[in-house]
């Protein structure tokens, strides 16, 4: 009964653990299925701020390869198919106006020069957002300077000022505005309307008849101080008639560079309410491969142990180690030998001196042959006079009883009665 109770309890615990794991897995799928843990304009997000709908729409197009690029920008030329940028378009959605490493910018330049198309759609920030970022950066820098200033004030003799060399990671930082020859500015408020809690105004096509004449826009960012190679695709004019370019394009070697001051039209929300397929097709260009960069949003691929396992095909070793670990746990959890019966001190005290012999007989002599074995041993210990008292009739009757297969105790009692009938014989004396 205890064994059945334990088995039922273990089964109930296993079922409860399985149900719990299933609930946790379902919650994780619901949470990560929407992609809300990814940054805005990530192709893994399916909410209005994501770009999964655009990614999926391009995936469904024939003769078009769509991939997420999760490595450093400097490796953009190594993206499959082999070759630099010919026939490829890389899209940076939700980008920010922040400095980048020189080697990354040089990789983009090489990608475009070899025939690639680079599309950078900026995150729709405002001057207030930029000022808040600058204030936050100044506060962090001030906190970092305070310990050094306190340590400097605590010294009796001020240290000599030395010109420290510029750190290598600072020396290699550049901004694309300096390399690609443009500037970012923010407009005074144009004639806008509030739509779903956000500002919206229209921008007009500037000499591209294949595109829609008017597009909805949600960002006050625009580009100015443009080099002569830049061409304005969409813009709007302020009250003074000044042009505010929001989508620009320029050739770069054999490829092209495209800048957008807003990413709204590439989002899931715009794909449902303000879809403009002509503009999206123009952004993708005539390429056969689209690369959606996720590394600039913080979702980067970093090689680890499992990458080495896949690269060198060490799956067999991993599964072998896992099997050895499971066997080790099983060995320590259960013993291969039968469990030793625990005997209480009271039971051990009541054990007779003949218990070891009884246990030995029970293990090595079958019950059906026990009485015959006892009879043989008894016969060996008889002296001459005692052996003479056991007649042939006695032995024949005893053999019949041993072969009858009756109960051991009953047969033993009958044998004792038969032997009690024998007459004692006196030993001869000289």
Greater pLDDT, 312 or 383: 312
Q: Assign residue 365 a region: left if phi > 0, alpha if psi is -120 to 50, beta otherwise?
A: beta
Sign of CA dihedral 127, 132, 137, 138: positive
User: Percentage of the chain surpassing pLDDT 70?
Assistant: 71
Residue in this structure with the two tokens 């025939």, named with its chain if needed: 115
| Alpha carbons 268 and 98: distance in angstroms, whole number | 25
Helix, strand and coil percent figures for the chain, each rounded to 5: 45, 15, 35
| Alpha carbons 213 and 222: distance in angstroms, whole number | 18
Query: Kind of pairing, strands 214-217 and 198-205?
Result: antiparallel
Virtual torsion, Cα 352, 353, 359, 360, nearest 10 deg: -170
Amino acid 257: pLDDT: 96
Residue 370: Cβ within 10 Å count: 16
- Supply the CATH classification number for the domain 52-133+169-297: 3.40.50
Check if the beta carbon of residue 117 is closer than 8 Å to that of residue 285.
yes
Amino acid 232: pLDDT: 94
Amino acid 42: pLDDT: 92
Residues 251-267 have pLDDT tens digits of 999 999 999 999 999 99
| Alpha carbons 256 and 249: distance in angstroms, whole number | 7
pLDDT at residue 179 greater than cutoff 80: yes
Residues 403-418 have pLDDT tens digits of 777 777 888 888 888 7
| Alpha carbons 361 and 359: distance in angstroms, whole number | 5
Across 379-391, average pLDDT: 70
Check if the beta carbon of residue 117 is closer than 8 Å to that of residue 256.
yes
Residue in this structure with the two tokens 């896992």, named with its chain if needed: 322
Give residue 11's pLDDT band: very low, low, confident or very high (50, 70, 90).
Answer: confident
Residues 260-305 have pLDDT tens digits of 999 999 999 999 988 999 999 999 999 999 999 999 888 877 767 7
| Furthest C-alpha separation in the chain | 159
Residue 272: Cβ within 10 Å count: 10
Residue 44: Cβ within 10 Å count: 21
Domain ranges of the chain: 7-37, 52-133+169-297, 368-430
Check if the beta carbon of residue 187 is closer than 8 Å to that of residue 261.
no
Residue 184: Cβ within 10 Å count: 18
Amino acid 429: pLDDT: 46
Check if the beta carbon of residue 271 is closer than 8 Å to that of residue 53.
yes
| Alpha carbons 350 and 359: distance in angstroms, whole number | 15
Contacts of 124 (CB under 8 A, 6+ apart): 218, 219, 220, 221, 261, 262, 263, 264
């Amino acid at each position: 009964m205890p064994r059945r109770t334990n088995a039922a309890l273990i089964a109930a615990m296993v079922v409860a653990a399985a149900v719990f794991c299933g609930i946790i897995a379902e919650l994780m799928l619901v949470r990560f299925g929407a992609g809300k843990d990814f940054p805005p304009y990530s192709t893994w997000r399916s909410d209005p701020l994501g770009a999964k709908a655009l990614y999926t729409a391009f995936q469904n197009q024939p003769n078009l390869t769509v991939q997420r690029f999760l490595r450093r920008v400097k490796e953009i030329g190594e993206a499959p198919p082999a070759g630099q940028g010919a026939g490829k378009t890389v899209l940076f959605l939700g980008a920010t106006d922040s400095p980048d490493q020189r080697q990354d910018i040089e990789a983009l330049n090489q990608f475009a020069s070899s025939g690639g198309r680079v599309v950078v759609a900026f995150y729709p920030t405002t001057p207030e957002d930029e000022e808040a970022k600058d204030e936050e950066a100044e506060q962090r820098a001030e906190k970092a300077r305070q310990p050094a200033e306190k340590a400097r004030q605590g010294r009796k003799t001020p240290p000599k000022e030395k010109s420290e060399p510029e750190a290598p990671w600072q020396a290699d930082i550049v901004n694309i505005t300096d390399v690609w020859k443009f500037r970012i500015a923010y407009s005074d408020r144009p004639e806008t309307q509030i739509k779903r809690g956000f500002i919206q105004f229209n921008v007009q096509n500037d000499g591209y008849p294949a595109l829609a004449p008017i597009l909805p826009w949600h960002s006050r960012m625009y580009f100015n101080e443009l080099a002569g190679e830049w061409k304005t695709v969409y813009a709007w004019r302020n009250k003074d008639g000044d042009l505010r370019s929001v989508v620009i394009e320029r050739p770069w070697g054999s490829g092209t560079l495209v800048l957008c001051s807003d990413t709204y039209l590439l989002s899931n929300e715009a794909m449902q309410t303000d879809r403009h397929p002509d503009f999206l097709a123009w952004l993708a260009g005539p390429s056969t491969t689209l690369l959606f960069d996720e590394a600039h949003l913080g979702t980067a691929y970093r090689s680890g142990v499992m990458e080495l396992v896949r690269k060198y095909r060490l799956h067999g070793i991993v599964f072998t180690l896992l099997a050895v670990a499971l066997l080790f746990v099983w060995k320590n959890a259960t013993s291969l030998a039968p469990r030793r019966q625990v005997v209480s001190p009271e039971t051990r005290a009541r054990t007779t001196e003949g218990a070891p012999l009884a246990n030995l007989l029970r293990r090595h002599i079958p019950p059906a042959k026990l009485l015959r074995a006892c009879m043989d041993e008894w016969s060996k210990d008889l002296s001459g006079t005692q052996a003479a008292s056991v007649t042939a009739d006695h032995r024949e009757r005893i053999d019949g009883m041993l072969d009858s297969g009756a109960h051991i105790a009953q047969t033993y009692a009958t044998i004792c009665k038969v032997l009690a009938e024998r007459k004692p014989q006196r030993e001869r004396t000289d």
